[in-house]
Amino acid sequence: MQFVSRFMQRQAFFPTPAGLLLNPFYLARRGLAASVRKYAPHLQGRLLDVGCGRKPYRSLFTVDAYVGLDIDSEVSRALGMADHLYDGKDFPLADAVFDSVLCNQVLEHVFEPDRFLAEIRRVLKAGGKLLLTVPFVWDEHEQPFDYARYSSFGLRALLEKNGFRVLQQEKIGADASTLFQMVNVYLYKVVERWPSPFRWLVTIGVMGSINAIGALAGRLLPKNPDFFLDHIVLAERT
């Protein structure tokens, strides 16, 4: 059973071809994993993972220390992965103690983004790097704590206003695969409360097929740089 649990957790964030059948979010998670892997070498020294959850991307980083920070909640306490818990406002960390920060799919859940980014900047050393991902096209999730979506221009402006210089900025899933991922997001919410056998039947038989068609469509159909799943930004503390 432990093998099955580890396999499913791996498929959730690093989906292999088996993930086509098992992961309704295959297209999004595949793109995120590839993008974080691409930029991981830019983060060095002492790294802080803000909103770390299960620390799913820890294996991608070769750093001196990998420190997880998460909001203090029953869920984060039960996971037991965070090295530090915080109140959603102030990080319980000293100034300028980290060389890099990873913040993955968290910013949309922050009600006061200026204060949040100020805290990230505070704990970063001068010239420290921030790797940030945030969704653009996605459903409401983790309700009621889902507060924002950012355009590429809005995200850059927000970072620059709060003392970061954007080094690189990319759009993940800027192709037809986004359409198919949205269909599976819709279906997932429809069937998530169904009895397990029926839910798995739809996941494997229907959503798996949509994943496969979406992956192919993303390769064959024209790109659309204005319609995409996620942002990934590499920024530097000024």
Q: What is the pLDDT of residues 189-232, one digit of tens each?
A: 999 999 999 999 999 999 999 999 999 999 999 999 999 999 99
Q: Residue 6: its pLDDT value, please?
A: 79
In this prediction, residue 2 carries a pLDDT of 64
| 78 Cβ contact partners less than 8 Å away, ≥ 6 residues apart | none
User: For the residues 107-130, what does the mean pLDDT come to?
Assistant: 98
Residues 52 and 70 sit within 8 Å (Cβ to Cβ): yes
Give pLDDT, residue 8.
Answer: 80
Residue 237 burial (CB count, 10 A) = 23
Predicted confidence (pLDDT) at residue 47 exceeds the cutoff of 70: yes
In terms of DSSP bridges, do strands 46-50 and 98-104 run parallel, antiparallel, or are they unpaired? parallel
pLDDT of residue 95: 98
Task: For residue 89, give the nearest of 52, 67, 46, 120 by alpha carbon.
Answer: 120
Angle CA 142–22–34, to nearest 5? 75
Residue 229 neighbours by CB under 8 Å, 6+ apart: 27, 28, 31, 135, 136, 137, 138, 172, 173, 178, 181
Pull the structure tokens for residue 89: 């406002």
* Each residue's pLDDT tens digit, 132-171: 999 999 999 999 999 999 999 999 999 999 999 999 999 9
Over residues 58-79, the mean pLDDT reads: 96
Q: Which residue has the tokens 């970063």?
A: 124
Tokens of 91: 């990080």
Compute the distance between CA of residue 22 and CA of residue 195 in angstroms, rounded to an integer: 16
Confidence of residue 1 (pLDDT cuts 50, 70, 90): low
CA 154 remoteness from chain centre: 18
Q: Return phi, psi of residue 195, to 5°.
A: -55, 145
Say if CB 185 and CB 211 are below 8 A apart: no
Average pLDDT of the chain? 96
Cis peptide before 144 (omega within 30 of 0): yes
CA distance 105 to 109: 8
Gap between the terminal Cα atoms of the chain: 48
12: closest CA among 176, 217, 203, 142?
A: 203
**Confidence class for position 39, pLDDT limits 50, 70, 90:** very high
Domains of the chain by range and CATH? 43-174+225-237 (3.40.50.150)
What's the pLDDT at 7? 80
pTM of the model: 0.95
Task: Say which residues have a Cβ less than 8 Å from residue 119's Cβ, sequence separation at least 6.
Answer: 90, 91
Whether 164 and 134 have beta carbons less than 8 Å apart is answered as: no
Model confidence band, residue 4 (pLDDT cutoffs 50, 70, 90): low
